[in-house]
Homo-oligomer: A and B are copies of this chain.
Amino acid sequence: MTVRHVVVFRFHPGTPADRVEALRSELVAFSAALEPVLTYDVGEDLGVNEASWDFAVSATFADVEGYLAYRDDPEHQRIIRELVAPITAERASVQLAI
Protein backbone atom coordinates (compact mmCIF):
# COMPACT_ATOMS: atom_id res chain seq x y z
CA MET A 1 0.00 0.00 0.00
CA THR A 2 1.67 3.18 -1.20
CA VAL A 3 1.41 5.98 1.36
CA ARG A 4 1.22 9.67 0.55
CA HIS A 5 2.35 12.00 3.33
CA VAL A 6 1.02 15.55 3.06
CA VAL A 7 2.02 18.37 5.39
CA VAL A 8 1.34 22.10 5.25
CA PHE A 9 2.92 24.85 7.34
CA ARG A 10 2.09 28.40 8.31
CA PHE A 11 5.19 30.33 9.36
CA HIS A 12 5.41 33.15 11.85
CA PRO A 13 4.76 36.56 10.21
CA GLY A 14 8.00 38.14 9.05
CA THR A 15 9.92 34.87 8.69
CA PRO A 16 12.93 35.76 6.47
CA ALA A 17 12.94 34.17 3.00
CA ASP A 18 16.42 32.73 3.56
CA ARG A 19 15.15 30.68 6.54
CA VAL A 20 12.45 29.16 4.32
CA GLU A 21 14.92 28.48 1.50
CA ALA A 22 17.34 26.84 3.97
CA LEU A 23 14.52 24.55 5.13
CA ARG A 24 13.52 23.69 1.56
CA SER A 25 17.05 22.90 0.42
CA GLU A 26 17.86 20.78 3.49
CA LEU A 27 14.63 18.79 3.02
CA VAL A 28 15.46 18.24 -0.67
CA ALA A 29 18.97 17.00 0.17
CA PHE A 30 17.77 14.83 3.04
CA SER A 31 14.88 13.25 1.11
CA ALA A 32 17.02 12.58 -1.97
CA ALA A 33 19.44 10.55 0.16
CA LEU A 34 16.80 8.51 2.02
CA GLU A 35 15.99 5.20 0.38
CA PRO A 36 12.32 4.84 1.49
CA VAL A 37 11.34 8.12 -0.20
CA LEU A 38 9.73 7.35 -3.59
CA THR A 39 8.75 10.92 -4.56
CA TYR A 40 9.20 14.23 -2.75
CA ASP A 41 7.62 17.55 -3.66
CA VAL A 42 8.41 20.47 -1.36
CA GLY A 43 8.18 24.22 -1.62
CA GLU A 44 6.68 27.56 -0.88
CA ASP A 45 3.14 28.56 -1.63
CA LEU A 46 2.73 30.27 -5.02
CA GLY A 47 0.36 32.96 -3.71
CA VAL A 48 -2.56 31.93 -5.93
CA ASN A 49 -5.03 31.96 -3.02
CA GLU A 50 -4.90 34.57 -0.31
CA ALA A 51 -5.96 32.08 2.38
CA SER A 52 -3.30 29.50 1.55
CA TRP A 53 -0.67 28.52 4.08
CA ASP A 54 3.05 29.10 3.39
CA PHE A 55 4.85 25.84 2.63
CA ALA A 56 4.10 22.18 1.89
CA VAL A 57 5.57 18.73 1.48
CA SER A 58 3.82 15.97 -0.49
CA ALA A 59 5.81 12.73 -0.54
CA THR A 60 5.22 9.06 -1.27
CA PHE A 61 6.54 5.87 0.35
CA ALA A 62 6.13 2.20 -0.51
CA ASP A 63 4.43 1.49 2.81
CA VAL A 64 3.79 2.82 6.32
CA GLU A 65 7.17 1.51 7.47
CA GLY A 66 8.89 3.61 4.81
CA TYR A 67 7.03 6.70 5.98
CA LEU A 68 7.96 5.97 9.60
CA ALA A 69 11.63 5.54 8.65
CA TYR A 70 11.46 9.03 7.11
CA ARG A 71 9.54 10.54 10.01
CA ASP A 72 11.87 9.17 12.64
CA ASP A 73 15.20 9.54 10.82
CA PRO A 74 17.67 11.45 13.04
CA GLU A 75 18.57 13.87 10.24
CA HIS A 76 14.85 14.60 9.72
CA GLN A 77 14.42 15.17 13.43
CA ARG A 78 17.38 17.57 13.37
CA ILE A 79 15.83 19.53 10.47
CA ILE A 80 12.51 19.72 12.36
CA ARG A 81 14.23 20.89 15.54
CA GLU A 82 16.62 23.40 13.98
CA LEU A 83 14.82 24.65 10.85
CA VAL A 84 11.08 23.92 11.18
CA ALA A 85 10.23 24.52 14.84
CA PRO A 86 11.73 28.04 15.13
CA ILE A 87 9.68 29.46 12.23
CA THR A 88 6.44 27.43 12.37
CA ALA A 89 3.18 28.86 13.73
CA GLU A 90 0.88 26.03 12.53
CA ARG A 91 1.38 22.62 10.97
CA ALA A 92 -1.19 20.13 9.65
CA SER A 93 -0.53 16.72 8.13
CA VAL A 94 -2.35 13.69 6.74
CA GLN A 95 -1.07 10.26 5.69
CA LEU A 96 -3.28 8.51 3.14
CA ALA A 97 -3.24 5.26 1.20
CA ILE A 98 -2.99 5.74 -2.57
Which residues on A are within 8 Å of B, measured CB to CB?
A: 3-4, 6, 8, 10, 41-46, 48-49, 51-56, 58, 64, 67-68, 71, 90, 92-98
State whether A53 and B10 are in contact (beta carbons under 8 Å apart), knowing that A4-B58, A46-B3 are contacts in the complex. Answer: no
Q: Do B48 and A67 touch (CB < 8 A)?
A: yes
Identify A43's interface contact among B51, B56, B96, CB under 8 A. B96
Copies in the complex: 2
Which residues on the B side are within 8 Å of A46 (C-beta)? 3, 64, 95-97
CA distance A55 to B92 in the complex (A): 11
Chain A binding surface SS class: strand
Interchain residue pairs A-B with the least CB separation, the first 6: A56-B94, A43-B96, A41-B98, A58-B58, A6-B56, A45-B94
